[in-house]
Structure 1
Amino acid sequence: MPLPPPPPPPSFLSPAPLSPPKPPIVASKGPPGALLVELNAYNGSPFNDHWSYFVRSSHDPDVGVVIEAVGDVRTGFKLQIERNYNFGLTSNPTATRIPLQWIGAEYVDEKAMLNNEASTAVDDPVCIFEECLLKIEVPKKTLNDIHETVSLALDHCCSVLCLTTKLIYS
């Protein structure tokens, strides 16, 4: 009796479609004094999307604090806090705003975070929540520059000769 044919080979050409994760279910109103933190995604076309945290103010859902990694792969990144950020005044609208969690009043200082309604970008935390976020390690420099060279400080020609001799005979 002949054996059945072998099964078809697995398909490695097309990856299985991934469904995006479902956002968490967050209450529409939080505890007294709590602020809502969101994850915002900006369209980065033709590159990858850009992501940031946004802490809403209690009086306007479009005004708050943006905490994001700024920089590039050549120089590295750092976390930056943009105080009193207003989505109504920006030319870079978010593609998606995902509510994540209410932050208790004991961890935030809304007045200091909003900088008395003055817009500014800073590196200094003003509350426990910001201190915790600034402890997150951001991506380091990942692009090597082809022009990076090691320069040697040489006092005179003898140093060049000695260095060359060491390199040849080592």
Structure 2
Amino acid sequence: MPSYPARAPANPPPPPPPSGSRRSVASGTLQPKPPSVNFNGPAGAFLVELLIYNGAPFKDHWAYWVRSHHEPEFGVFIHATGDVRNGFQFEIKRSHDLRVTGNRPTKKIPLQWIDGKYFNESAMFNDGVHKIDTLPVCAFEASLYNVKAPGKSLNNVDDKVSLQTLLVLPVDDLFS
């Protein structure tokens, strides 16, 4: 396991859950109501956003996005990848450029500015080199990594906790 910067506290606050939810008529999936977030955040803070991808005919795919201070389309993509047959795993795409991928998010929702002390910018962005990783390199990523993605299941998908719920659960626990 990588070492964390000494200055980072043990339990950083991840982004808050959306301030409510509504069901999308078209997809039948639960969609968050966007929180009100200032366009410009505190010095050194990182904006964490929720990316939503159309998953039709299945549930939409959600991911956290930590964007670069200099380029909003360049950042760190954090999500769970896999399927019910093989299980899911935590995955981080470092120095990911949304302009290069063919799969653009349907929605990009700003969640919250998080103090820079919970991040290791050089390690998170892998010094500007794209990399797919499965281990956290800073306290913020570690807080997300602690929520384990679901394993294999032959049960009905509707009986399982959704990946969307997995993104919100750790936040609910910390802020309740």
Partner of 2:118: 107
Partner of 1:84: 95
Partner of 2:109: 98
> Residue 32 and residue 78 in structure 1: after superposition, are their counterparts in 2 closer, same or farther (change >3 A)?
same
Higher relative contact order (CA 8 A, sep 6+): 2
Question: How far off is 1:18 after superposition?
Answer: 4.4
Partner of 1:68: 79
> Residue 113 and residue 21 in structure 1: after superposition, are their counterparts in 2 closer, same or farther (change >3 A)?
closer
Give 1 or 2 for the bigger CA radius of gyration.
Answer: 1
> Residue 70 and residue 18 in structure 1: after superposition, are their counterparts in 2 closer, same or farther (change >3 A)?
closer
Which of 45, 52, 55 is matched with 2:56 structurally?
45
Fraction of identical pairs, as percent: 49
Which of 133, 155, 158 is matched with 1:122 structurally?
133
Question: How far off is 1:21 after superposition?
Answer: 4.1
> Residue 21 and residue 44 in structure 1: after superposition, are their counterparts in 2 closer, same or farther (change >3 A)?
closer
Equivalent residues in 2 for 1:6-25, closer than 5 Å: 18=23, 20-25=31-36
Q: CA RMSD in A?
A: 1.6
Q: Which amino acid aligns with 1:22?
A: K
Give, in whole Å, the separation in 2 of the partners of 1:93 and 1:120. Answer: 19
Give, in whole Å, the separation in 2 of the partners of 1:61 and 1:142. Answer: 37
Deviations 1:45-90 (CA, angstroms, capped at 9, x unpaired):
2222111000011000000000000011001111101000111111
Give, in whole Å, the separation in 1 of the partners of 2:43 and 2:140. Answer: 17
Unmatched tracts of structure 2, length 5 or more: 1-21, 25-30, 156-176
> Residue 143 and residue 58 in structure 1: after superposition, are their counterparts in 2 closer, same or farther (change >3 A)?
same
Q: TM-score, normalised by structure 1?
A: 0.71
Give, in whole Å, the separation in 2 of the partners of 1:119 and 1:21. Answer: 29
* Superposition misfits of 4+ residues, deviation over 6 angstroms: none
Give SS of 1:44's match: coil
Unmatched tracts of structure 1, length 5 or more: 1-16, 145-170
